[in-house]
Amino acid sequence: MVETGHNHDVRAEVMAVILNISKSLAKDKKGALFVIAEREKIAGNFRPHYPQLQFSGNILSKGMDAVVEKLATLDGGMIFTPDGVLIAYGSRILKSETLLGYGTKHAAAKGITSYDKTATAVLVSEESGWIKVFQKGEIVLETDAVDIEPSTLEKVSSFLTNKDMALLASAGLAAAVGLGGAVLIVGGAYMVVKTAGEVISSTLKKEKPR
């Protein structure tokens, strides 16, 4: 991912909050689309369905996660800057690329991340209850609705925002991820990287209470 002036820790925290909200929505089989993009790059590439309704805030602010979870169920996507500022909600993404066998949210997620190589899209499928993360037009992570251990969520969020292989090395997956595989988190307990010719799995260690 291209470096920006944003603090890496803040960007990873924003990603973690969005993934947690996505987990909650997935459990209730509610669909949603989140786009994380630089304000200047997303400008002109979305159209609000509800222009008369104005709301702003930062997803990291206290209580905003509950607000975002409600707004995410409106038709259209939610757009945030990498440091968590809400740009728009209930918006149609104008960049779209068909993903065979899937609907408009998948097309929007693929399209906007193909257009803006620094953007990330997080999609929650109301049909399957699965969450998919898109970067550069590709699905880079899929996970079910089961909660992820906080330590694992932190590593995954940092990897998605910073591409720091060292964060996943402890799970024995860094080399495989480097080959361009997609990360799967199933049941909150396993991380699997699918590469061209192999499947590597590793049990994720849960933190012991102190």
Global model pTM greater than 0.85: no
How far is residue 159's CA from residue 166's CA, in Å, rounded to a whole number?
Answer: 9
How does the average pLDDT of the chain come out, rounded?
Answer: 81
Confidence check: pLDDT of 62 > 70: yes
Tokens of 95: 């960049």
Q: 138 pairs with which residues across the strands? A: 135
Q: Give 103-119 pLDDT, tens digit per residue.
A: 899 999 999 999 999 99
* Collapsed DSSP state (helix, strand, coil) of residue 68: helix
Q: What is the pLDDT of residue 181?
A: 58
In sign, the C-alpha dihedral spanning 81, 74, 100, 195 is: positive
Q: Which domains does the chain have, with CATH numbers?
A: 8-141 (3.40.1700.10), 150-203 (no CATH)
pLDDT at 54 (0 to 100): 74
Report the range of poorest mean pLDDT among 78-87, 136-145, 175-184: 175-184
pLDDT at residue 6 above 60?
no
Which of 99, 62, 104 is CA-nearest to residue 84? 62
Q: What is the dihedral of CA 82, 109, 89, 63, to 10 degrees?
A: -50
pLDDT tens, residue by residue, 151-199 = 778 878 887 888 765 655 554 454 444 445 567 776 665 555 554 334 4
Tell me which of 151 and 39 has the higher pLDDT: 39
